Amino acid sequence: MKKIRLMAITVIALVILVGFGTSSAVVFTPEQDTTAYKHKNLLRLHVIANSNSVNDQKIKRKVRNRIMNQTKKLFIGVTDADKAQEVVKENLGYIESVAEAELASLDSNCQVKVKLGNFHFPKRTYGSKTLPAGDYNALRIIIGQGQGQNWWCVLFPPFCYIDSVNKKEAKKNFEALEKEEVNIKVKSKFMEYVKSNPQLTQKKKEITNLLRTSVTDLDNLISNLTSD
C-alpha cells in the first residue's frame, strides 16, 4: 500500500515537473565517484620505497603498516580533511619517529623523510572507489633514496587501515563522505537553476496546491482499488 502510494506520488511529481519545464529542461545527474574526491575532502598517503629490490619493497610495506596503525588514533574525533591536515602537521615529528622505529626494527640503515604538501597522483582505484589523477594534499614518506615503487592510498578518511574491522569502518566513512559531497553538489546546482529561472518561485504555490490535491485524490483512488 505504502509502496504504491509512494510510486504514484513520484509519477505525479515527475509529470508536473516535466510539464513545467517544457521551455527549459534540466537534468541533475549525481557526480560519479571519480569527481567526488578530487582535492579538498581528502588527505592521501604516499610511501616511496628505497628501491625495487624484494627487501626494500618488503620494508616499504612494513613502514606503511606501522604508520597506518600508529596514526589512526590521531584522527579520533576528526571530521574533515582540513582538520586532519592540521593534526598531521602537528605530528610530523611523531610520524617520522614511527617510521624510523620500524626501519630500526628491520635492521635497515635507510633514512626517512616525512613531508606534508600538495603532490600529483595518478588515477587509482581502491575497491569500488576511483580517484582521478590530479594534485592532492598528502603525507609523503620517502625511504632512503626513494627510487622504488610507490604505494598510494587515503589517510583521511581512514580508508587504508590494514585490519578488516577498520576496513569496514573506513568504507562507511568513505561512503558517508561520498553521499554528503553528492548531495551538496546536486543541491547547489538546483539552487543555481532556480535563481536563473525566477518563474519557478512564482509557480511554487500553484505546484504545491496541485500536488496536495493530487495526493489527496490519489489516497481515495488507492483506497477504492485496494478495498475488498
The verdict on residue 183 lying in a domain is: no
More confident residue, 122 or 40: 122
Residue 9 grid coordinates: 506520488
What backbone phi and psi angles, to 5 degrees, belong to 118?
-110, 120
The verdict on residue 5 lying in a domain is: no
Question: Is pLDDT of 196 > 90?
Answer: no
Q: What is the pLDDT of residues 114-144, one digit of tens each?
A: 999 999 888 877 666 778 888 889 999 999 9
Residue type present at position 120: H
The verdict on residue 25 lying in a domain is: no
Domain count of the fold of the chain: 1
What burial letters (b/e) apply to 179-204, b meaning 16+ CB within 10 Å? eebbeebeeeeeeeeeeeeeeeeeee
What's the whole-model pTM score? 0.55
Highest mean pLDDT among 10-24, 84-98, 179-193, 211-225: 84-98
- Beta carbons within 8 Å of 57's beta carbon, 6+ residues apart: 49, 148, 149
The verdict on residue 4 lying in a domain is: no
Residue type present at position 127: G
Q: Which of 159, 155, 160, 158 is nearest to 45 (CA)?
A: 155
The verdict on residue 107 lying in a domain is: yes
Q: 124 pairs with which residues across the strands?
A: 131
Query: Strand order in 112-121's β-sheet?
Result: 112-121, 134-143, 43-48, 150-156
The verdict on residue 218 lying in a domain is: no
Question: Is pLDDT of 61 > 80?
Answer: yes
Query: Residue 105's domain spans which residues?
Result: 43-177
Question: Is pLDDT of 195 > 80?
Answer: no
More confident residue, 216 or 106: 106
Average confidence (pLDDT) over 174-192: 49
What's the distance, Cα to Cα, between the start and end of the chain in Å?
A: 14
The verdict on residue 124 lying in a domain is: yes
The verdict on residue 227 lying in a domain is: no
